[in-house]
């Protein structure tokens, strides 16, 4: 037996899809409307009436809207500044690589920085695994090959 058309939405026409979607939306709206008395009772129990009174009856939403406008303008200003700065840097540094690679460190410089013998350092660099012991000041005290 073939499956009914409502189990195969790919067989429905566009008109049927939108029609059934609208009917579904309509019934969901009706379902929420039927729950409104309970939602109102719960909201009243938690003091939403006070919110309603201050925001709608006394005009508190005007202050909220002006505050939201100030926040929105501030965010817009920051966005314009950041986009302007990014555009300026893009135009200024386009196709120009100003960063340079650091000069390679020689074994003598490395040995001097770590205060170790240069020949011992060359041996350590060729080892597969080492255990390095340090003193309290971070100086290399002893190196063991593993």
Percent of residues, the chain, with pLDDT higher than 70: 94
Examine the domain organization and report whether 23 and 38 are in the same domain.
yes
Instruction: Please check whether residue 101 lies inside any domain of the structure.
Output: no
Examine the domain organization and report whether 22 and 6 are in the same domain.
yes
Q: Which residue has the higher pLDDT, 4 or 88?
A: 88
pLDDT of 102 over the 60 cut = yes
38-69 confidence digits (pLDDT tens): 887 777 777 777 777 777 777 777 877 888 89
Of the candidates 76, 140, 66, 135, which has an alpha carbon nearest to the alpha carbon of residue 110? 140
Instruction: Please check whether residue 63 lies inside any domain of the structure.
Output: yes
pLDDT of 110 over the 80 cut = yes
State the total domains in the chain.
Answer: 3
Instruction: Please check whether residue 102 lies inside any domain of the structure.
Output: no
CA 3 to chain centroid, in Å, comes to 45
Please say whether the beta carbons of 132 and 143 come within 8 A.
yes
Examine the domain organization and report whether 85 and 61 are in the same domain.
yes
Query: What is the C-alpha separation between 111 and 108, in angstroms, rounded?
Result: 5
pLDDT at 41: 74
Contacts of 139 (CB under 8 A, 6+ apart): 114, 115
Instruction: Please check whether residue 18 lies inside any domain of the structure.
Output: yes
Parent domain of 124? 107-145
Phi-psi region of 96 (alpha: psi -120 to 50; beta: other; left: phi over 0): beta
Q: What is the mean pLDDT of residues 70-88?
A: 96
């Amino acid at each position: 037996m073939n499956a009914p058309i409502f189990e195969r939405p790919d067989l429905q026409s566009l008109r049927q899809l939108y029609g059934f979607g609208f009917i579904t939306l309509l019934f969901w709206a009706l379902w929420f409307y039927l729950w409104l008395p309970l939602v109102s009772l719960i909201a009243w129990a938690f003091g939403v009436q006070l919110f309603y009174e201050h925001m709608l009856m006394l005009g508190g939403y005007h202050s909220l809207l002006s505050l939201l406008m100030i926040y929105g303008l501030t965010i817009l200003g920051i966005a314009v500044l950041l986009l302007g700065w990014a555009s300026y840097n893009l135009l200024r540094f386009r196709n120009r690589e100003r960063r340079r690679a650091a000069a390679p460190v020689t074994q003598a410089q490395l040995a001097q920085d770590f205060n170790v013998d240069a020949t011992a350092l060359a041996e350590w660099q060729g080892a597969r695994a080492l255990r390095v012991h340090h003193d309290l000041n971070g100086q290399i005290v002893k190196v063991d090959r593993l």
